[in-house]
Structure formats: C-alpha cells, structure tokens
Amino acid sequence: MVDIDEEVINICRRFLPSFHQNSFDDSRAELHFTDARKYLEGSEDKFDVIIIDLADPLAKGPARLLYTQEFYQIVKQGLEPDGIMSVQAESAGWTELQNFTAIANTLKTVFPIARPYLAYIPSFNDEWGFISASENLDPAKLAPEEIDARISTRISKELKSYDGLTHFLQGKPYRATNESQTNDSNVHLFHYSMDKRNPRQYRKLKIKLQKSK
C-alpha cells in the first residue's frame, strides 16, 4: 500500500479498527508513505493488480497528476502482462459525467482494454464510477457463473455486494464516453471557490476541459 499521508493512516489505525480489521499489521502487508507516482517510477516490481483510490483531481491537489496519460503509462509499465488496474473515476451520475468520461477516455489512450463500471455509494448518495484497464484481461468476457465459482473457491464468507451479476452492472448510458482526454499539461480539474455573495457558502467551479492535441 502506498499513501502520501502517514498521519492519516495512523489516525485510521487508532480510531477505525472496525474498518481496517488489523489489515495494516498483516505480515503480508507493506506500507510505503510517499507519492504514488514517485514510488512506481522507482520500483522494479511487477504487479498483478494495482488498485488506485485517489483524492479528487483538485486544481492544486496532490493527486492531480495521477489522472493523466503519463501516469497511466507508468502504471501500465508496473503491471504484469496479464495484470489489471482499477481506479475510482468520480461521480457517474447523470449530471456529473464529465469527470468520469474524461478519465475513461484517458485510460483508453493507454490501455487497449478499459472497462467502466459503477456502484451506488450510500454515503455519497450517488452512482460512483470506476474503471478497470488492462493490456490483455477483459473483465467483460467473464460469465456470471464463472465469477461466482471463483468467489466460492477463494472466499468462504458470503460477500455483501459483489457477485457474478453485480460484475455486469455497467449500464449502457455509462459506457458512452465523450472525446475528453487528459495529459500532464491538460488535466481535467475542478475546485471549490468561496461565493463572494455569501462568504459562508462555497460553489463548485468547473474548469472547461480542452481536448489533448
């Protein structure tokens, strides 16, 4: 696990034991407190799976350069030939598709296979987007029965949300993507700005995304 903020991990260790269930102390776990891009650039390891759960691509945020073609190229180089990556891709709600589609199309410029999917997140009260990308593995080609069989052979307890049918919760409206892409010099960003008319209120400002050349 790579995280840039050691203090947050320490707080989670102390106050959220029901969430992590002592996973940080598992003998198989390695913790690295550094920038994820820097870590992958300096690592010679190859991974079967890379799961990326980042903060939003805020204009001056620490994660903004982890949503680009250049970073996804680094991720691709860090994967085994049959490896796969998964990334959270912002809201996939009907009125908030721009971020989701920008990330999807950026991944499609790097990986031959990029499959968007979504899940309802109760705490967000929203459909949230995710994207799996790979050089060779296509998760859409797995049959529901095969997924259920794999789960049953590897996990003894019943999962609360994932099974063979959940795997294919990829509604057609969410598969349609626009032409937006991002690279290091053209990052799709949004940020919050104080509303001058009411200093106690913040309004969401979106920076118009331009196509990469």
Please list, residue by residue across 32-42, b when 16 or more beta carbons sit within 10 angstroms of its beta carbon and e when fewer do: eeebbbebbee
The pLDDT score that the predictor gives to residue 172 is 38
Name the residue with tokens 């913040």.
202
For residue 173, the surrounding DSSP H or E stretch is helix 172-175
From 4-8, 41-45, 106-110, 200-204, the region with the lowest mean pLDDT: 200-204
Place 169 in a pLDDT band, splitting at 50, 70 and 90.
low
More confident call, 46 vs 100: 46
Query: Under CATH, what is the fold of the domain 46-206?
Result: Rossmann fold (3.40.50)
**Which of 12, 31, 32, 33 minimizes the C-alpha distance to 21?**
12
The pLDDT score that the predictor gives to residue 96 is 74
The pLDDT score that the predictor gives to residue 19 is 92
pLDDT at 205 over 50: no
Q: What residue segments make up the domains of the chain, in order of their start?
A: 1-34, 46-206
The residues pairing with 91 across neighbouring beta strands, listed in sequence order, are 128
Q: Coil, helix or strand for 68?
A: coil
Helices (H), 17-134: 17-20, 36-42, 69-77, 97-108
Q: What are the catalytic residues?
A: 53
Please state the pTM of the whole predicted model: 0.76
The pLDDT score that the predictor gives to residue 162 is 82
